[in-house]
Structure 1
Amino acid sequence: MSKTSPEQNKALVIEAFNTLFNQRDYDAAERFWSDKYIQHSAHIEPGRDGLFNLVRSIPDTLHYEHGLILAEGDYVIVHGRFTGHGRPAAWIAADVVRMENGKLAEHWDVLQDEATQTESRSGLPMFGNRFPA
């Protein structure tokens, strides 16, 4: 069990994601991810190095923005959008993170391409309150 509260865990995840994905400060990001980090994502190599190497391979235009974030105990779920990764559509992600001792210790995700207004059968955006431009 972590020594941090759910509110602290939410703040740590947001700061970690911003540091890695937006600032691309790998040295600073190391302090947020456990050196024993467990990665369950199908498209990311194992461990912290797998994640960092993936981010290094994506264009410097990568940008992450978070939306809804929930936390219970050691688990944080954040709904976010990744843009600028060099693919035609943004990625909408639900990231599930298990925290341990104030660090991101384990990760699962669900990713899908963001639908345009024309593609959306519901007529509603997948992230935020407007469709991508």
Structure 2
Amino acid sequence: MAATKQEKNKALVLRAFDTLFNQRDYQAAEQYWSPKYIQHSAHIGPGREGLFDLIKSIPSTLKYEAGTIVADGDFVIVHGRFSDFGGPRNWIAADILRIEDGIFVEHWDVIQDEATEEESKSKAPMFGNNFAAQ
């Protein structure tokens, strides 16, 4: 049975994020981000170069973990955790990507500092099944 467009797009996002954020293979990552990539994030400079420059400026200890991922047509939303990047807190992010012909053409995000168990009013972790060590 052939994979659906949504399944292919989800797999594409997971491969691309691992390539850029965890492997830091910028040359390989270029295949996933369009040279005309539109960046809507307030935390990242414009275009593919803005994203790559940001990652290059972050310590090589950066780790990205993907969690829930959903797709609808040309859009994919992935809920993930960025850790070990030199900030005071991990970031929990919902990244929204628009994909055309197998390449990312547009991006939005919502980023929040990860709460500790003591800070969480719900006492449930913001990502995964366990609270991260802070």
Task: Identify the TM-score tier after normalising by the shorter chain.
Answer: over 0.9
Residue aligning to 1:103: 103
2:115 partner SS = coil
Query: What amino acid is the match of 1:45?
Result: G
| Runs of 4+ with >3 A deviation | none
Rounded to whole Å, the distance in 2 between the matches of 1:51 and 1:84 is: 18
The match for 2:64 is 64
User: Which runs of structure 2 are paired with 1:3-22 in the superposition (5 Å)?
Assistant: 5-22=5-22
Which residue identity does 1:61 align to in structure 2?
T
* Equivalent-residue separation in structure 1 for 2:62 and 2:123 (angstroms): 27
The residue type paired with residue 127 of structure 2 is: F
What residue in structure 2 maps to residue 32 of structure 1? Answer: 32
Contiguous gaps of at least 5 residues in structure 1 = none
Letter paired with 1:113: D
Please state how far the C-alpha of 1:88 moved relative to its aligned partner.
1.6
The structure showing larger relative contact order (alpha-carbon pairs under 8 Å, at least 6 residues apart) is 1
| Cross-structure match for 2:128 | 128
Paired position in structure 2 for 1:52: 52
Q: What amino acid is aligned across from residue 101 of structure 1 in structure 2?
A: D
Find the residue that maps to 1:92 and give its secondary structure: strand
1:84 corresponding residue in structure 2: 84
Q: TM-score if structure 2 supplies the norm length?
A: 0.95
In 1, the alpha carbon distance for the partners of 2:106 and 2:44 equals 13
Specify the SS of the correspondent of 2:45.
coil
RMSD of equivalent CA atoms: 0.8
Q: How many residues align?
A: 130
Deviation at 1:132, TM superposition (A): 1.0
Which residue is equivalent to 1:74? Answer: 74
* Mapped partners of 1:132, 1:16: distance in 2: 24
State the 1:54 CA deviation: 0.2
**Secondary structure at the counterpart of residue 125 of structure 1:** coil
| TM-score normalised per structure 1 | 0.96
Tell me, which stretches of 5 or more residues in structure 2 are unaligned? Answer: none
Structure 1 residue 37 displacement after superposition:
0.3
**CA deviation profile, 1:78-105 (whole Å, cap 9, x unmatched):** 0000001101210000000000110011
Q: Distance in 1 between matches of 2:66 and 2:74?
A: 19
